[in-house]
């Protein structure tokens, strides 16, 4: 029983000791062997340090414009580093000469096809004039036939009667109405030949309706020309003249018949008195029969003309006029269809001609681009101004005899009067970068000279090429314009830049490695004699070396530059304490179990 009490007391002392050590470890500890730094007060520059390459902001980049699948070889090229002078520009000095043999062969082959295409184009153009002339003649003939058909109808029935009939049938009745009819019909024909609407209607067979201006049946067959005679509606035309002539002939025949009848009556009286012979009387009788027949024939001809010939001829002439109207429209439609085909052939020939002509001009331009002359004074550099690892692998190196691909940069002549630095800003700093910020530039080859520049351009999106090898790397290209001109600077030099973000005056600051963060809280380990203590602080802006301390430290105080080895964050301390308490509780339970077993053993003994 005494042992059990002692054991419980010992375990309790151990737990108390562990708890006391844990509480003291969170705030204090030994700091004699750790590096320290003093809190300073003064001006502080917030900057971003990056490295980049010096580039010309303006440059002339000459690329291979020859479109050849196998590429084109360089025959001549000036040495890299050659300084193009104003005199070279004035004399149009040749900088690069490419092999033109393949292009010259293509032009020779193209000339044969081009001549055939040009002849076909000229023929198609000439056919338009020929077909237009023939179409106009055909339409003119159809229009004349229509006019004659109207005149024939008017001549036969009379102008007034013809106008009345045609008005009732809603057909043109004079030259003015004929012109309106033709204009309306022509507009309908043109609309029917609208290629866009034809294409839309051809999408479905159900939408295809045949274009027609003809009536289903002849309008002339519906006219009752017999009423013209009954109601004396016939005008002073050929039919009226014919009827009048027949009437006159019938009247003459009736008069002659009366004369003959009197002559026969006298001959009979003379015969009865034996003054004439029987033969003479018979002759008179024959003459009377002839007169009667002549009168009957005249009446029959008049009746036949009035009842049959006149309606037939009138309907025939009206039908001819109606057909002439439709013939004009059909002729126009046929000529329109022919001209549409002629125009289609012409457009096809013209497109082919334009393509061949453009191809010829393109070949000539490519041949002209094989000789590259001096256009701008400056230093000659091989390749492009933006060449990188990927383009250098894709293109063959520039030299005499090298084969160029289409679009490959050949030489670049930078404008040395305006240089800048191309840098990549890490995404952690991109929010600090703004246009027109001041920048200090130091060329690595001339470290004793510091130049001044300004941010002139910042990319909106990260550089996709930079993340090919490291997808998690996000950098934003930026351009820094160097102020002034400096002869010692050359494109391609490496440079370090310091971008001035802010300039703080009279602030407290410490090295960045002395500030730590836990759960959104910043803190330092302040040195107190030979110990240290964890101290929360409020921080502000920072650069690569120092960070501003807004609240929590005073100038002259010392802080540790590294985290003490025996420091444990709060969450780790809680976990360690819980583990130790569980071990103590487990030890107590074990002691209780062992004590119970010993008591049972003593009783049994």
DSSP secondary structure letter of residue 308:
I
396 and 346 part of one domain: no
Same domain, 139 and 1: no
321/252 same-domain check: yes
Residue 151 has pLDDT above 60, yes or no: yes
Q: DSSP character for 207?
A: G
Q: Are residues 385 and 348 in the same domain?
A: no
Q: Give the pLDDT confidence score for residue 196 in this predicted structure.
A: 52
Q: What is the b/e burial string over 38-58, where b = at least 16 CB atoms within 10 angstroms of the residue's CB?
A: ebeeeebebbbebebebbbbe
Residues 324, 389, single domain; the answer is no
Are 95 and 117 in the same domain? no
Please tell me the predicted confidence (pLDDT) of residue 3: 37
pTM over 0.75: no
Q: In the 8-state DSSP scheme, what is residue 600?
A: H
Query: Using an 8 Å Cβ cutoff, are 511 and 15 in contact?
Result: no
Within a domain: 547: no
Q: Can you give the pLDDT at residue 317?
A: 85
Residue 537 lies in a domain: no
Judge whether residue 578 has pLDDT over 70.
Answer: no
Q: How much is the mean pLDDT over the chain?
A: 80
Q: Are the CB atoms for 525 and 513 separated by under 8 Å?
A: no
Total count of domains within the chain: 3
- Per-residue confidence (pLDDT) for residue 480, from 0 to 100: 93
Q: Which residue has the higher pLDDT, 591 or 422?
A: 422
Would you say residue 446 lies in a domain? no
Instruction: Confirm whether 80 is domain-assigned.
Output: yes
Q: Torsion-angle region of residue 535: left (phi > 0), alpha (psi -120 to 50) or beta?
A: beta
Is residue 484 domain-resident?
no
Question: What tokens does 20 get?
Answer: 């006391």
- Quick one: average pLDDT of 198-224? 50
User: Residue 486: how many CA atoms within 13 Å on its side-chain side?
Assistant: 23
Q: Is residue 37 part of a domain?
A: no
The answer to whether residue 444 is domain-embedded is: no
Per residue in 327-385, pLDDT (tens digit) is 888 888 888 888 888 888 889 999 999 998 898 888 888 889 899 999 888 888 888 76
β-sheet bridge partners, residue 74? 98
Is the same domain home to 376 and 272? no
User: Band of the pLDDT at 241, cuts 50, 70, 90?
Assistant: confident
The 10s digit of each residue's pLDDT in 184-198 is 888 877 777 665 554
Q: Which range has highest mean pLDDT (111-115, 200-204, 323-327, 494-498)?
A: 494-498
Cβ atoms within 10 Å, residue 419: 27
| 231 and 295, same domain (yes or no) | yes
Q: Are residues 281 and 235 in the same domain?
A: yes
Residue by residue, DSSP assigns 513-580 as GG-EEETTEEEEEEEETTEEEEEE-EEEEE-SSEEEEEES--TT-EEESS--TT---HHHHHHHHHHH
Structural domain that includes position 84: 68-99+370-414
pLDDT at residue number 94: 92
Domain membership of residue 9 (yes or no) is yes
Tell me the per-residue pLDDT of 531-547, one tens digit each, with 9 for 90 and over: 888 899 999 888 888 99
């Amino acid at each position: 029983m005494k042992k059990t009490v002692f054991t419980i007391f010992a375990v309790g002392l151990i737990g108390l000791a562990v708890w006391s050590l844990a509480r003291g470890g969170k705030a204090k500890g030994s700091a004699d062997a750790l590096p320290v730094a003093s809190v300073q007060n003064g001006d502080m520059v917030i900057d971003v340090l990056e490295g980049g390459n010096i580039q010309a902001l303006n440059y002339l980049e000459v690329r291979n414009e020859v479109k050849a699948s196998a590429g084109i070889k360089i025959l001549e090229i000036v040495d890299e580093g050659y300084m193009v002078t104003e005199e070279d520009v004035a004399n149009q000095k040749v900088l690069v000469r490419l092999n033109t043999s393949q292009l010259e062969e293509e032009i020779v082959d193209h000339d044969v096809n081009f001549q055939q295409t040009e002849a076909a184009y000229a023929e198609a153009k000439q056919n338009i004039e020929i077909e237009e002339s023939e179409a106009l003649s055909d339409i003119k003939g159809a229009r004349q036939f229509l006019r004659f058909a109207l005149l024939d109808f008017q001549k036969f029935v009379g102008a007034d009667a013809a106008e009345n009939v045609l008005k009732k049938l809603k057909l043109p009745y004079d030259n003015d109405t004929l012109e309106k009819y033709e204009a309306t019909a022509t507009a309908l024909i043109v609309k029917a030949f609208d290629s866009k609407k034809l294409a839309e209607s051809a999408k479905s067979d159900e939408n295809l309706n045949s274009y027609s201006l003809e009536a289903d049946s002849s309008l002339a067959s519906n006219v009752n020309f017999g009423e013209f005679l009954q109601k004396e509606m016939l005008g002073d035309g050929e039919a009226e003249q014919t009827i009048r002539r027949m009437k006159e002939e019938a009247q003459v025949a009736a008069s002659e018949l009366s004369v003959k009848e009197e002559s026969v009556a006298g001959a009979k009286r003379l015969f009865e008195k034996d003054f004439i012979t029987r033969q003479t009387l018979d002759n008179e009788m024959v003459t009377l029969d002839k007169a009667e027949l002549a009168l009957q024939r005249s009446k029959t001809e008049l009746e036949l003309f009035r009842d049959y010939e006149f309606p037939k001829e009138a309907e025939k002439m009206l039908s001819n006029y109606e057909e002439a109207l439709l013939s004009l429209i059909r002729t126009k439609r046929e000529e329109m269809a022919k001209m549409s085909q002629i125009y289609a052939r012409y457009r096809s020939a013209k497109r082919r001609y334009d393509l061949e002509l453009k191809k010829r001009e393109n070949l000539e331009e490519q041949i002209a681009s094989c000789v590259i002359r001096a256009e701008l004074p400056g230093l000659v550099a091989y390749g492009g101004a933006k060449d990188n690892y990927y383009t250098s692998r894709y293109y063959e190196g520039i030299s005499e005899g090298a084969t160029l691909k289409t679009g490959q940069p050949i030489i670049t002549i930078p404008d040395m009067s305006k240089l800048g630095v191309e840098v990549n800003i890490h995404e952690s700093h991109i929010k600090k970068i703004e246009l027109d910020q001041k920048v200090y530039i130091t060329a690595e080859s001339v470290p004793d000279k510091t130049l001044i520049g300004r941010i002139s351009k910042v990319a909106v999106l990260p550089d996709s090429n930079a993340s090919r090898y490291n997808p998690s790397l996000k950098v934003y290209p930026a351009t820094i314009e160097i102020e002034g001109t400096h002869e010692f600077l050359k494109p391609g030099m490496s440079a370090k830049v310091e971008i001035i973000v802010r300039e703080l005056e009279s602030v407290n600051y410490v090295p960045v490695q002395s500030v730590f963060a836990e759960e959104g809280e910043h803190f330092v380990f302040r040195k107190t004699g030979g110990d240290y203590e964890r101290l929360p602080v409020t921080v502000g802006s920072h650069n690569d070396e120092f960070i501003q301390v807004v609240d929590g430290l005073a100038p002259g105080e010392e802080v540790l530059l590294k985290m003490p080895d025996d420091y444990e964050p709060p969450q780790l301390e809680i976990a360690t304490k819980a583990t130790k308490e569980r071990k103590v509780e487990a030890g107590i339970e074990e002691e209780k179990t062992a004590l119970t077993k010993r008591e049972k053993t003593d009783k049994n003994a």
